[in-house]
Structure 1
Amino acid sequence: MMNLRILFLLVCILCQPFGGSAQFRIPVLGHTIYEGVFTGNGLLGTMTYLAGKNSMRVDIGRTDIYDHRANSADKLFDQARMSLGHFEIEFESPIVQAQGEIHLKDAYAEAKVGTDQGMVRIRTITLSNDNIILLEVFKKDFNGNYHLTWKPDEAISPRMGFSYTQKPKNYPTNPKGSFGTQGETKYFDQPLLAGGGYVTAYCSRSGKEVDTYLITVDYNQRGTAYVKKAINYIRNFNKQKLTKGLAAHRKWWTDYFAASTLELPDTVYQQFYDMQLYKLASATRSDKPAMDLQGPWTSPTPWPAYWLNLNMQLAYSPVFKANQLGIASSLIQMIDRNKDNLRQNVPEPYRYNSLAVGRSSGPSLWSPVLLAKNVSLDAASDGEKELGNLVWLLHSYYQYYRATLSQEVYDRLFPLLKEAINYHLHLVEKNQAGKYHIGVKTYSPEYSKGYAYDTNYDLSIFKWGLKTLIELDQERGGKDKLHAVWKDVLANLIDYPQDVDGFMIAKDLPYGESHRHYSHLMMIYPFYDINWDQVTNQALIERSIAHWQSKKQWLQGYSFTGAASMYAMMGRGDSALALLDVLLQKYIKANTLYAESGPVIETPLAAMASIQELCMQYWNGVLRVFPAIPHRWKDVSFTNFLTDGGNLVSAERKNGKTANIRIKSQYGGRLRLKSDIGIPEVKIQGKGTFDIRKDGMIDLQLDKGAIALINTH
């Protein structure tokens, strides 16, 4: 098998530049989704790859198609993501060559397939503003025939196909689906036991040189009207609508890529970064469902759901710096839409003022947490003992607020965070030393013996939540009746458990076995509560990261992105990049997807965030420009990276030195800037002031719309 690093380099060398990349090429398409070319519009998506020795397949996915049986303990089966199926394109003779391209700017994928009868190009476009997939077969250079058929997948939880998953005792099957034809439209209707169903409908037009297929998918949880709706949608989508749809599609993607740019001198990382940007908008949009672990691209998986103790948080982590708030809003809307279920997730005595979410759920976010005082949880699952998941999820909501400074967003965020922290407060008590601590055992994600008192996972999340509530309430004059409680608990909360090796998993529980999740180190990243500015904590940070990474057995892809971000915080760009090199060499697939038993979308997107953090960070109240650029990256630039307060930042680095920084204040406010420009020259366009401190920090006070230009003197 070709070394993945060599394959990835070959992919990148073959690419043409568009702001760093126009195409992403896979020289040899494979037989899995990890070696295919893909498209998506945040709801529908395609994946094209080899099916057999003489056939190709085009998988079709729709991100919101979940089973919706009544809430039960078996939610990963009763409320699981459904896999639709694929179109198989069968040729008369064996395939001797198959290459793939993704055209990022125009957002289409193409497979070039060769047999002894010539070459066929299979192109897929998932229109941005329409629920239409356009599949085209270009046959000008092909002398043979092919046959296209729809092959539906069974309407069953994908988790049923894995021997190590605990199956429900009673899992009645969904009804069998049926094929149908109405006029020129063919369809496959899959009803669901819980009501409603989904349908894949398509029609075709044959031409001398090109055969065209229009495809749509509809879904509803009630009745059967979805079938007629899909058929009518295809029937009425005429040539004029297609022309307009394609023009709108191109414009949408052009505007999307223009929102921010990053230019790197490393072709591999440039290609990787641009692919993640493409992947984000293929997986979700502001008016589309939030990203689950798969995006539109399904494959056999034990993870047919939303995972809420790391995966969603990492998947959305790069969208803010990338200035893609439309992508972020899909998560925000999901949280807002399901507040009632978040309340139902906590034990009944706390529901009057508390919210929570467990480890995994369907789109409804129904996922109970059973933690309560004086209640035995010996029979509960580990996911039902995870306390901090919702507060960590709200960390993304808080970033969204700080990027927009919207009063409307504030008014939604504040009560959500307050009630999520209320659940923690119900479980807090004082120890013999008079310090607050979490008075019940909770579970530290992914650690086999992680059910313990005072996990660092929950303490770091709880502390961030308290700090943030205090900050948010102070914006309104500190008038909330719980303000004094938050300050008291924060001031008197126990220290993070640690030993000679650094931060422990929990009280009386050292880090003693390999652990892929950095749940015990979140006070370092992403919360920066323990950070590199605190000189007395630097040795502790180093010990903790080194000890975690020294036990390599169960480290996975996001173990390396997490550590890379921590080293970026320390200003060690070379160390961060070395870890990302391992990620790309060992874990990232040919088309930049990622797998752990099945597709999981978060790790490549977390690596995108780590790359951003080499270039720009904001923590401890300071904007840091080019804080951790690796030595091998001499020339780097970015435009319109979004940071705290809604500030848009652009910067350029030439021959290893920062040349200029541009900051536009969208809403007005104060900003502290740290860079490596030794003697900066500052100019303000519009109204604003600045002060260059003795330590080189620049204090900026900018009115709305003002621009600060910082150059070398």
Structure 2
Amino acid sequence: MLCFVCHGQDKAIFHIPKLGNNIYEGVFTGNGLLGTMTYLKSSQSVRIDIGRTDIYDHREKSNKKLFDKARLSLGHFFINFDVNIDSAGGDIFLQQAFSLTNIKTSAGILQIKTTTLSEDNIILIEVIKNAYNGNYSFDLCPDCAISPRMKFDYTQKPVHYIRNPLGKSGNSKGVSFYNQELLAGGGYATVYKKVIGMDKDVYVVSVGYSQVNNSYLEETIDFVHHFDSQDINRGVKKHQDWWQNYYSASSLFLPDKLYQSFYDMQLYKLASATRADKPAMDLQGPWTSPTPWPAYWMNLNLQLAYSPVFTSNHLDIASSLIQMIDRNISNLRENVPAAYRYNSIAIGRSSANDLWSPVVLEKGVSIADASDGEKELGNLLWLLHSYYSYYRFSMREDVYDRLFPLLKEAVNYYLHLLEKNESGKYHVAVKTYSPEYKYGYAYDTNYDLAILRWGLKSLIELDHEKNKKDPLYDRWVDVLDNLIDFPQGVNGYLIAKDVPYDESHRHYSHLMMIYPFYEINWDQKENRVLIERSIKYWKSKNQYLQGYSFTGAASMYAMMGRGDAALTSLDNLLKSYIKKNTLYAESGPVIETPLAAMTSIQELCLQYWNGKLRIFPAVPTAWKDISFKKFLTDGAFLVSAKRENGITQTVEIESQHTGTIKVESGISTPMVVIKGRGKYEIDLDGIIVFTLNKGARALVYEKK
């Protein structure tokens, strides 16, 4: 059962009245690099997991990358008591970004406060003991430096897996440490010291890491040794300022306490999991647990995890993904077969943070021994949809200049694999794999056709925007105009040509022309029956549906303007799949589904597709009063809107970049006021077309 965020003056608290014995029932913090998770270890101890998001093994490239290049778990601190714990509850103070655990015992109450400082590589663990008369001990229990996948019986393990050397504990300069060297070079160290106080003890923790040399150990010891009380005070002040600035970027106010709580937690989770200058989110974020998924997943997870950052006006969060792509272009090129590397890039199903993950699809070459993940053609091009959004929501020239060649090379790989069929239509002339479907290895998967259509359209649009007339422009237009139709049957869209949807399928890979690409959309009245039939039939086979199946369905219903159906889908998600602290698991922690649900909630309030911005397009009937401020949308426009008693009252649009936007305001008799340079016109359908200079604001309200 989800807990609520209690809102008071200048604070929001996510309360878990009863902590459990796993990460899904704990309270957590993070700064995008380091993180903590506090929960119960036993009847007499509390466990505080620590994580660092960039600590990956980095052995040579091999087909066992989930073992040789796996994310590594650090371990945990545990606080032992000499009496039993009677009860334990926890709170996450969202706006101040710390967690507080309350431990009740026969010897009194002890509190554990954790803060992962925003501007420092420091975790503060405060043991507040002024109401506690017993004793406690504080110890580190490090994890072994092996791939977490080794701990799962059903995973196919390497025949010869050489373990990293055992780590070593030690003390230096009054500081305790655990040092773990790696076979591939470098290593990492957890370093901590205790600062004794009258009412509380403060443990100052840091984690050093290097893939190159061993200087990280001495550097981290010195850093912690010199981090004094003044540094702590300064660090906490900077920490509070950072989070206050973060929350000021946008806001959403919902009449439903459960969904307000859930949304606020995802906003907190995003900035805890990654930052502009921190590693991109993998499946775990800073909160590690035994998992068969110690990597980045590229055929849905990474795309969904970053999906809410754009509307919430947090391009700063998105930039961690963009930077990871930019840093690893050489590996993206190495991922394609040698014959295509001169002008193509791709990525397979999963990778470490170096994005090395081969795709082996090549005309005329047998790939019988390849894994399904090596046959997924569209992953990178879909990932670049996030890069495209990063550009369109910022309209930055430097982002355009980097995006265009990446998009071009990702499409090039497709172009190498196309041929014309007997009807003169282009199709993918090799079998590819449609993610997650048992029989998804086939010709002309809808997964690939939807992604390719989006890629071609985007290249043509971007080319028009700058009047580039790229040498491949005519080729893009020709392929787009003559690409085969999406395969469909009596029950809607198929998985691929000659592959019906016959078994339950958690991924909506065969429906991506509906969402997230809106190639087939609700404005197209001729396609409405097909859309409804496809979604209904997909959901009718519910045996293997998982959490993100319900976020995908909710977003599709939102596109149809069916807010009640979207809310029902999200209700099923929160009731059956989301954990007590809003984390999510499928055999191990996976971060994307709750964040995708955050996107679905945003889409009840604001959507942009088919060239049109839609204000409150799918608000559930029960949500009478709702508002949002400074949501970001295509063209770098900031949007605020307010709805009372089921009626839209005001819409405000601020231009951060000179441009034009079409707005479906939902206001029946709109009055418009523009401050700054701009103009508008209202077409016959009531759509307001704004052309606004940078800095101009437009206010729309109901004519009285």
Task: Output the TM-score relative to the length of structure 2.
Answer: 0.99
Structure-2 residue corresponding to 1:15: 6
1:567-578 correspondence runs (5 A): 567-578=557-568
Question: Structure 1 residue aligned with 2:490, among 478, 482, 500?
Answer: 500
Structure-2 residue corresponding to 1:342: 332
Distance 1:518 1:200, change over 3 A: same
Structure-2 residue corresponding to 1:473: 463
1:208 Cα deviation (Å)? 1.9
1:57-102 deviation digits (Å, cap 9, x = unpaired): 1001000000000000000000000000000100001111100000
Question: Structure 1 residue aligned with 2:668, among 678, 686, 693?
Answer: 678
Structure-1 residue corresponding to 2:181: 191
- Give, as a single letter, the amino acid of the residue that structure 1 aligns with 2:29: T
Structure-2 residue corresponding to 1:599: 589
- Give, as a single letter, the amino acid of the residue that structure 1 aligns with 2:369: A
1:109-124 correspondence runs (5 A): 109-124=99-114
Structure 2 residue matching 1:24: 3-state secondary structure: strand
**Is 1:444 aligned to 2:434, yes or no?**
yes
Question: Structure 2 residue aligned with 1:399, among 366, 389, 395?
Answer: 389
1:478 Cα deviation (Å)? 4.1
Question: Structure 2 residue aligned with 1:33, among 17, 23, 26?
Answer: 23
Structure-2 residue corresponding to 1:362: 352
Structure-1 residue corresponding to 2:146: 156
Question: Structure 2 residue aligned with 1:206, among 193, 196, 203?
Answer: 196
Question: Structure 1 residue aligned with 2:625, among 616, 635, 641?
Answer: 635
Structure 2: stretches of 5+ with no match in the other structure: none
**Is 1:524 aligned to 2:520, yes or no?**
no
1:68-87 correspondence runs (5 A): 68-87=58-77
Q: Are the aligned partners of 1:293 and 1:307 in contact in 2 as well (CA < 8 Å)? A: yes
**Is 1:316 aligned to 2:306, yes or no?**
yes
- Give, as a single letter, the amino acid of the residue that structure 1 aligns with 2:126: E
Structure 2 residue matching 1:555: 3-state secondary structure: coil
Question: Structure 1 residue aligned with 2:120, among 109, 124, 130?
Answer: 130
1:16 Cα deviation (Å)? 2.8
Structure-1 residue corresponding to 2:212: 222
Structure 2 residue matching 1:45: 3-state secondary structure: strand
Structure 1: stretches of 5+ with no match in the other structure: none
Question: Structure 2 residue aligned with 1:231, among 192, 217, 221?
Answer: 221
Alignment RMSD (CA, Å) = 0.8
1:243 Cα deviation (Å)? 1.2
- Give, as a single letter, the amino acid of the residue that structure 2 aligns with 1:704: K
Structure 2 residue matching 1:15: 3-state secondary structure: strand
Structure 1 residue matching 2:331: 3-state secondary structure: helix
1:244 Cα deviation (Å)? 1.1
1:33 Cα deviation (Å)? 0.2
CA distance in 2, matches of 1:478, 1:563: 38
Structure-1 residue corresponding to 2:87: 97
Q: Are the aligned partners of 1:323 and 1:640 in contact in 2 as well (CA < 8 Å)? A: yes
1:262-661 correspondence runs (5 A): 262-661=252-651
CA distance in 2, matches of 1:423, 1:64: 30
Q: Are the aligned partners of 2:378 and 2:451 in contact in 1 as well (CA < 8 Å)? A: yes
Question: Structure 2 residue aligned with 1:181, among 162, 171, 179?
Answer: 171
- Give, as a single letter, the amino acid of the residue that structure 1 aligns with 2:7: Q
Distance 1:305 1:276, change over 3 A: same
Structure 1 residue matching 2:7: 3-state secondary structure: coil
Question: Structure 2 residue aligned with 1:56, among 24, 46, 59?
Answer: 46
Distance 1:619 1:261, change over 3 A: same
1:18 Cα deviation (Å)? 6.3
Structure-1 residue corresponding to 2:247: 257
CA distance in 2, matches of 1:375, 1:163: 33
1:694 Cα deviation (Å)? 1.7
CA distance in 2, matches of 1:192, 1:563: 44
CA distance in 1, matches of 2:661, 2:514: 23
1:183 Cα deviation (Å)? 2.3
Structure 1 residue matching 2:221: 3-state secondary structure: helix
Distance 1:41 1:18, change over 3 A: farther
- Give, as a single letter, the amino acid of the residue that structure 1 aligns with 2:201: D
1:519-577 deviation digits (Å, cap 9, x = unpaired): 00000000000000000000000000000000000000000000000000000000000
- Give, as a single letter, the amino acid of the residue that structure 1 aligns with 2:395: L
Q: Are the aligned partners of 2:66 and 2:295 in contact in 1 as well (CA < 8 Å)? A: yes
Structure 2 residue matching 1:676: 3-state secondary structure: coil
Q: Are the aligned partners of 1:627 and 1:675 in contact in 2 as well (CA < 8 Å)? A: no
CA distance in 2, matches of 1:39, 1:433: 58
1:403 Cα deviation (Å)? 1.0
**Aligned positions, number:** 703
- Give, as a single letter, the amino acid of the residue that structure 2 aligns with 1:119: I
Structure-1 residue corresponding to 2:32: 42
Q: Are the aligned partners of 1:470 and 1:478 in contact in 2 as well (CA < 8 Å)? A: no
- Give, as a single letter, the amino acid of the residue that structure 2 aligns with 1:36: G
Q: Are the aligned partners of 2:173 and 2:225 in contact in 1 as well (CA < 8 Å)? A: no
CA distance in 2, matches of 1:634, 1:132: 44
- Give, as a single letter, the amino acid of the residue that structure 1 aligns with 2:52: R
Structure 2 residue matching 1:110: 3-state secondary structure: strand
- Give, as a single letter, the amino acid of the residue that structure 1 aligns with 2:626: V
Q: Are the aligned partners of 1:63 and 1:296 in contact in 2 as well (CA < 8 Å)? A: yes
1:658-681 deviation digits (Å, cap 9, x = unpaired): 000000001111000002211000
CA distance in 2, matches of 1:161, 1:335: 30
Structure 2 residue matching 1:61: 3-state secondary structure: strand
Instruction: Give the fraction of aligned pairs with identical amino acids, expressed as a percent.
Output: 63
CA distance in 1, matches of 2:43, 2:173: 33
Structure-1 residue corresponding to 2:130: 140
1:605-641 deviation digits (Å, cap 9, x = unpaired): 0000000000000000000000000000000000000
- Give, as a single letter, the amino acid of the residue that structure 2 aligns with 1:265: P
CA distance in 2, matches of 1:478, 1:221: 42
Structure 1 range deviating more: 139-148 or 470-479: 470-479
Q: Are the aligned partners of 1:403 and 1:642 in contact in 2 as well (CA < 8 Å)? A: yes
Structure 2 residue matching 1:398: 3-state secondary structure: helix
Structure 2 residue matching 1:318: 3-state secondary structure: helix
CA distance in 2, matches of 1:582, 1:323: 28
Q: Are the aligned partners of 2:122 and 2:206 in contact in 1 as well (CA < 8 Å)? A: yes
Task: Output the TM-score relative to the length of structure 1.
Answer: 0.98
Structure-2 residue corresponding to 1:706: 696
1:378 Cα deviation (Å)? 1.4
CA distance in 2, matches of 1:610, 1:525: 11
1:17 Cα deviation (Å)? 3.9
Structure 1 residue matching 2:28: 3-state secondary structure: strand
1:210-251 deviation digits (Å, cap 9, x = unpaired): 000000001001221111011011012122221111111000
Structure 1 residue matching 2:192: 3-state secondary structure: strand
1:205 Cα deviation (Å)? 1.3
1:356-395 deviation digits (Å, cap 9, x = unpaired): 0000000000000000001111110000000000000000
1:322 Cα deviation (Å)? 0.3
